[in-house]
């Protein structure tokens, strides 16, 4: 059971942590958000630039002059196609980076001031619902491993008619 200051006790186990002070989010969170938004904007600019350059390559391919000798025209076409392939690979990489940025959770901050946001008082982790426990364990990087002890079974056969010897 948790009391008014966040103290909990069940089965004699409890966890203590400092109370979260009211107030704005730490500067590290806003800085991390700003960096994430800047990275997102840079990737969007890169994607737009590559799309524009791919369009120019396609336009160049369509406007190769007819008066070029066939070998020169073929070499020019091949060079444009090769460069277009490179641009397409850049576009795919930037789009994948943007998708990863959008789907990845924000990285936790290394700001020690965040410790002040933790509640003060004992808290019984095992009394919390399993999803809450899992979130707590994940947040603190806690791993619980159980290794079942291995005890070999040893026995000496003895005859029922003859008493066992010590």
Give pLDDT tens digits for 103-133: 877 666 666 776 777 767 777 778 888 888 8
Give whole-number Cα distances, 148 to 144, 145, 151, in Å.
13, 10, 9
Model's pTM, two decimal places? 0.48
Please answer whether residues 94 and 9 qualify as being in contact, where contact means their C-beta atoms are separated by less than 8 angstroms: no
- pLDDT at position 87: 93
- pLDDT at position 135: 82
- pLDDT at position 13: 37
- pLDDT at position 164: 58
In this prediction, the residues of the chain whose per-residue pLDDT falls under 70 are: 1-29, 106-111, 114, 119, 153, 155-166
- pLDDT at position 107: 63
- pLDDT at position 62: 86
Other CB atoms within 10 A of residue 94 CB: 20
Domain boundaries, the chain: 28-110
């Amino acid at each position: 059971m948790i009391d008014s200051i966040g103290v909990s006790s069940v089965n004699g186990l409890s966890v203590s942590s400092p109370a979260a002070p009211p107030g704005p989010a730490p500067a590290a969170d806003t800085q991390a958000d700003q960096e994430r938004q800047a990275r997102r904007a840079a990737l969007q600019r890169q994607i737009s630039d590559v799309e524009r350059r791919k369009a120019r390559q396609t336009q160049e391919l369509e406007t190769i002059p007819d008066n070029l000798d066939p070998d020169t025209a073929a070499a020019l076409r091949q060079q444009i196609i090769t460069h277009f392939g490179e641009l397409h690979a850049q576009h795919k990489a930037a789009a994948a980076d943007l998708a990863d940025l959008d789907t990845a959770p924000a990285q936790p901050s290394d700001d020690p001031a965040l410790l002040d946001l933790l509640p003060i008082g004992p808290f019984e982790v095992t009394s919390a619902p399993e999803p809450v426990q899992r979130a707590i364990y994940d947040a603190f990087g806690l791993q619980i491993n159980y290794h079942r002890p291995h005890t070999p079974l040893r026995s000496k056969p003895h005859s029922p008619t003859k008493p066992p010897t010590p």
